[in-house]
């Protein structure tokens, strides 16, 4: 199991940014300095988003806006500029990040909401981890959920479970710092 501190590193300001690791099925083992590398590599984050251009956005400019907002939040996370909602908070808030209740090692990065596309309201979530085995952030995936759908909670739970499996598989790879 990968553990992380209660105070998330993405919420502790720093002068030098944390690096991002963007694994995928063919993870190359490198920590990429730029938070934007994920889009051009075969990453889990990139593959989760790839289908949205046609299925949700239909090539729309809002797809480009989504990528821009994700990049901005990834950069803010690397500098510790985000605000944290704790899992035991009584009232849900609009804070930027929260460890998921379902899998506390999987952290939910919240994009500003709602994200309106063709008369539907979506919430966009980037899932990542802050494993204590390395001083970096690890992207795990993305979910664009239709908040008007009655199935959004089940879809979100499936994605969180998938991201937890991805994290466990990354930890077992020979390129992971814990394996060295």
Q: What is the pLDDT of residues 56-71, one digit of tens each?
A: 776 677 888 888 889 9
- What is the predicted pLDDT for the residue at 34? 57
pLDDT in tens, 99-109: 898 998 999 99
The arithmetic mean of pLDDT across residues 77-88, rounded, is 79
Comparing 147 with 60, which gets the higher pLDDT? Answer: 147
Integer-rounded Cα radius of gyration of the chain: 16
Candidates 51, 50, 62; CA nearest to 119 is 62
What's the pLDDT at 1?
A: 47
pLDDT of 154 over the 90 cut: yes
Q: What pLDDT, on a 0 to 100 scale, did the predictor assign at position 108?
A: 93
Tens digits of residue pLDDT in 37-58: 677 778 899 889 887 777 777 6
Q: Which of 64, 66, 74 is nearest to 96 (CA)?
A: 74
What pLDDT sits at residue 130? Answer: 93
Residue 90 in this model has a pLDDT that exceeds 60: no
Nearest to 43 by CA among 52, 53, 33, 32: 32
3-state secondary structure (DSSP) of residue 33: coil
Q: At which residue do the structure tokens 């797809």 appear?
A: 63
pTM, full prediction: 0.86
Q: 139 vs 41, 60, 93, 94, 148, CA distance in Å?
A: 12, 25, 23, 21, 27
Sign of torsion over alpha carbons 168, 86, 143, 72: negative
Three-state SS at 83? coil
Please name the residue that has the structure tokens 């077992």. Answer: 172
CA distances, 110 to each of 31, 100, 143 (Å)? 23, 11, 10
**Tokens 């909401």 label which residue?**
113
């Amino acid at each position: 199991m990968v553990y992380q501190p209660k105070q998330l590193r993405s919420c502790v300001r720093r002068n030098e940014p944390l690096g991002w690791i963007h694994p995928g099925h063919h993870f190359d083992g490198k920590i990429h300095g730029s938070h934007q590398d994920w889009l051009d590599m075969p990453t889990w984050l990139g593959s989760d988003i790839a289908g949205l251009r046609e299925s949700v956005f239909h090539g729309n400019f809002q797809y480009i806006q989504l990528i821009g907002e994700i990049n901005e939040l990834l950069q803010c996370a690397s500098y510790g500029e985000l605000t944290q909602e704790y899992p035991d908070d009584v009232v849900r808030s609009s804070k930027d990040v929260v460890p998921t209740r379902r899998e506390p090692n999987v952290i939910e990065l919240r994009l500003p909401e709602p994200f309106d596309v063709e008369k539907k309201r979506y919430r966009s979530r980037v899932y990542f981890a802050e494993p204590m085995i390395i001083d970096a952030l690890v992207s795990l995936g993305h979910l664009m959920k239709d908040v008007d759908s009655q199935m959004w909670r089940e879809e979100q739970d499936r994605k969180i479970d998938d991201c937890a499996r991805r994290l466990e598989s990354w930890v077992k790879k020979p390129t992971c710092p814990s394996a060295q």
